Amino acid sequence: MANDVTVVAGGGGFIGGHLVARLIDEGRLVRAVDRKPLSEWYQVHAGVDNRSLDLQQMEACRAAVEGATEVYNLAADMGGMGFIENNKALCMLSVLINTNLLLASQEAATDRYFFSSSACVYAAGKQVTTDVTALKEDDAYPAMPEDGYGWEKLFSERMCRHFLEDFSLTTRVARYHNVYGEHGTYDGGREKAPAAICRKVIQAKLSGDHEIDVWGDGEQTRSFMYISDCIDGTFKIMTSGITEPINLGSSELVSINQLVDIVEEIAGMTVKRNYILDAPLGVRGRNSDNTRICEYLNWEPSVSLKAGLERTYRWIHDELQA
């Protein structure tokens, strides 16, 4: 049995795949675990103990964390608004992953445990306008999170808190705000806005049919964090003394129309936008208040949306052409 293993649950997914790469660079012995067969992982890294296991099952969690000093839980049934608004039960079943992983990590006397929460925990009533006030950590309460997915995240945050308080398992929780970048989902129904818009504009360019669908009126606002910032922040939060859930997101607020403007600029063309008003939309506006992460870590995400989208666009372009 190998000791000092760092486990990445959801290692076959978007953020998990990048985190595994970073941990290898840090010289860690890594075990990546995901429910998908290895052939479907977004990145498969050499020199890693890669395992296909369903972490909703307790026995699988025990096998996953054997000999682990650190566990990063990035495994969840998730996707963009199109997925989470139509699959609430599946989203809530991710509670089994975090609950069983916490129990197994406690049994295995793991040193540290990280949970990837989401901005979807924030109360809906604080996100009703496009010029929304950025969300502070305390805005999650009184609770009225995104139905299904957000409730699971909020509950699992509290499980982490109580395992820390009652069982002395060192837990860390980050609330990710929209992460995008290479090696992520860009089609199939689980993709999020940045990858979806890049794909649509690329397809428009390649096909010569210069029209794309935009969900809603395009005036809804969000912030988007590039993957390298997400990985840096995750690593910093895991190694910090921060015991409360903390925002990890960009504070560069844009509308979806502005996002399309940037992608058009990268593509060097404009498209006709068909607004699909009855598409799943989520909240009207959402931004990350980064006061706390600046104060605690003297750091916040810094890759501009334009720079991150350029890299993402090129990667999706190459994938579509391949």
Q: Which residues are catalytic?
A: 149
Tell me if 10 contacts ligand NAD by CB under 6 A: yes
Please report, as residue ranges, which positions from 71 to 110 form the binding site for ligand NAD (by CB under 6 A): 74-78, 97
Binding string to ligand NAD for residues 115 to 144, with x set by CB under 6 A, is what?
Answer: -x-x--------------------------
Task: Indicate the residue type of 273.
Answer: R
Answer for which of 23, 31, 32, 34 binds ligand NAD (CB under 6 A) is: 34
Instruction: Give the separation between CA 301 and CA 304, rounded to whole angstroms.
Output: 9
User: Is the sign of the CA dihedral 241, 242, 244, 249 positive or negative?
Assistant: negative
Nearest-approach distance from CB 248 to ligand NAD, in angstroms: 9
Tell me the residue number closest to ligand NAD, measured at CB: 13
Collapsing DSSP to helix, strand or coil, 210 comes out as coil
Nearest-approach distance from CB 107 to ligand NAD, in angstroms: 18
The CA–CA distances, whole Å, from 127 to 136, 138, 177, 281 equal 12, 14, 14, 12
Tokens 């949306």 sit at which residue? Answer: 305
Task: Give the interface segment with ligand NAD, choosing from 31-39, 99-107, 129-137, 139-147 (CB under 6 A).
Answer: 31-39
Tell me if 30 contacts ligand NAD by CB under 6 A: no
Answer for which of 36, 45, 88, 136 binds ligand NAD (CB under 6 A) is: 36
Tokens 């890759």 sit at which residue? Answer: 303
Tell me if 50 contacts ligand NAD by CB under 6 A: no
DSSP string, 257-272: HHHHHHHHHHHTS--E
Distant-in-sequence, close-in-space partners of 239: CB < 8 Å, separation ≥ 6: none
Nearest-approach distance from CB 35 to ligand NAD, in angstroms: 4
Answer for which of 6, 13, 113, 288 binds ligand NAD (CB under 6 A) is: 13
Instruction: Give the separation between CA 216 and CA 235, rounded to whole angstroms.
Output: 35
Instruction: Give the separation between CA 285 and CA 72, rounded to whole angstroms.
Output: 29
Nearest-approach distance from CB 176 to ligand NAD, in angstroms: 3
Nearest-approach distance from CB 97 to ligand NAD, in angstroms: 5
Please report, as residue ranges, which positions from 163 to 222 form the binding site for ligand NAD (by CB under 6 A): 176, 178-179, 185, 192
The CA–CA distances, whole Å, from 268 to 181, 193, 278, 314 equal 20, 19, 29, 13
Residues interacting with ligand NAD, by CB under 6 A?
Answer: 10, 12-16, 34-36, 54-56, 74-78, 97, 116, 118, 176, 178-179, 185, 192
